[in-house]
Amino acid sequence: MSFIQIKDLEYRYSDNMAALKGINLEINEGEFVVIIGSNGSGKSTFAKLLNVLLVPTGGLILVDGLDTRDPDNVWEIRQRVGMVFQNPDNQLVATTVEEDVAFGPENLGIPPEEIRRRVDNALRQVGMDGYQKHAPHHLSGGQKQRVAIAGVIAMFPKCIVLDEPTSMLDPQGRREVMETILHLNRKERKTIIHITHYMEEAIEADRVIVLDRGEIKLMGKPVEVFQEVEKLKSYQLEVPPITELAYELSQSGLDLPKGILTVEELVEALC
């Protein structure tokens, strides 16, 4: 069932060129969508439109049937769509992890015992159980970002939009956050919209969307999108490391199928 419906979406900041234009898209409940695109392609603008931090200047977005242009829907939509941003330090405000995760539910006016349950459950979901009394600023980047995600989960959103949540993390932190995202999608059935510039993070998505200069240029399963090595390069995008290697090998004359994404697939094709 479709959770987000987007029709002829356009967004302009003041009189500038459209940051987004001609976007038509449906995102299904429980889908894991990855959005890639070079700097300035409109990814963050798109994320903000989903969370009603911005309102379309053309076309419309329905979230769970709610029109984001209607001011009466803002509160409802923000409860259904949680946001995680790039810099974990800007998202953690309290002196302990549990206070941080409780912050959202407290604002929803949820009773204390229920908040306690939600906080503990959310920390378990992100693999941070036991850190309740820890100080957020002493955590690693990956741990901080997982606490920020726990703060979102504690509000029980149906959908989580993550705008480059891994871009300030080391490889270990990136893996932790990706495992958390996969868990939330596969086990908790959250709809995930993950914006990233790490192509390897797109491999496990249900669908990859490529933005370039405010438009959707490619969309499909990872194996379909990453076959388009030359197009992706023309949008200043890389392909996943293994795909790049397979591409280089086939350029130098080896007969390999297109759309190789993993080491296993490459080994199989080579042997």
Region from 35-43, 73-81, 131-139, 184-192 binding ligand ADP, contact rule CB under 6 A: 35-43
CA quadruple 255, 258, 261, 262: dihedral positive or negative? negative
Cα 192 from Cα 155, distance rounded (Å): 15
| 185: contact with Mg ion by CB under 5 A | no
Q: Is 229 helix (H, G, I), strand (E, B) or coil?
A: helix
For residue 53, give every residue at least 6 positions away whose Cβ sits within 8 Å of its Cβ, in sequence order, or none: 83
Does 166 sit near ligand ADP (CB under 6 A)?
A: no
Q: Is 44 in the site for Mg ion (CB under 5 A)?
A: yes
Residue 219 beta carbon to ligand ADP: minimum distance, rounded to whole angstroms: 16
215 DSSP β-pair partners: 212
51 contributes a contact to ligand ADP by CB under 6 A: no
Between 39 and 90, name the residue whose CB sits nearer to ligand ADP. 39
Is 41 a binder of ligand ADP (CB under 6 A)? yes
DSSP string for residues in 29-84 = TT-EEEEE--TTSSHHHHHHHHTTSS--SEEEEEETTEETT-GGGHHHHHHHEEEE
Q: Which residues pair with 86 in a beta bridge?
A: none
157 binds, among ligand ADP, Mg ion, none (CB under 5 to 8 A by kind): none
Residue 26's contacts (CB-CB under 8 Å, 6 or more residues apart) are 2, 4, 5, 6
Among 7, 29, 40, 258, binds ligand ADP (CB under 6 A): 40
The reply on whether position 45 binds Mg ion by CB under 5 A is: no
Report the partner that residue 142 touches, choosing among Mg ion, ligand ADP, none (CB closer than 5 to 8 A by kind): none
Mark the segment that binds Mg ion (CB under 5 A) among 20-28, 36-44, 210-218, 255-263: 36-44
If one asks whether residue 196 binds ligand ADP (CB under 6 A), the answer comes out as: no
Residue from 13, 138, 221, 263 in contact with ligand ADP (CB under 6 A)? 13
- Per rule CB under 6 A, count of chain residues that contact ligand ADP: 11
Decide: is 16 part of the binding site for ligand ADP (CB under 6 A): yes
Cβ distance to ligand ADP smaller for residue 210 or 261: 210
Angle between helix 263-270 and 241-251 (nearest 10): 20
For ligand ADP, the closer CB: 16 or 107: 16
The residues near 137 (Cβ < 8 Å, ≥ 6 apart) are 89, 92
- Can you point out the beta strands (E) in the chain? 2-12, 18-28, 32-36, 58-63, 66-67, 81-84, 159-163, 191-195, 207-212, 215-220
Sole binder of ligand ADP in the list 3, 21, 34, 37 (CB under 6 A): 37
Q: How many residues in the shown chain lie near Mg ion by CB under 5 A?
A: 2
User: 152 φ, ψ to 5°?
Assistant: -75, -45
Tell me which residues touch ligand ADP (CB under 6 A). Answer: 13, 16, 19, 37, 39-45
Tell me which residues touch Mg ion (CB under 5 A). Answer: 43-44
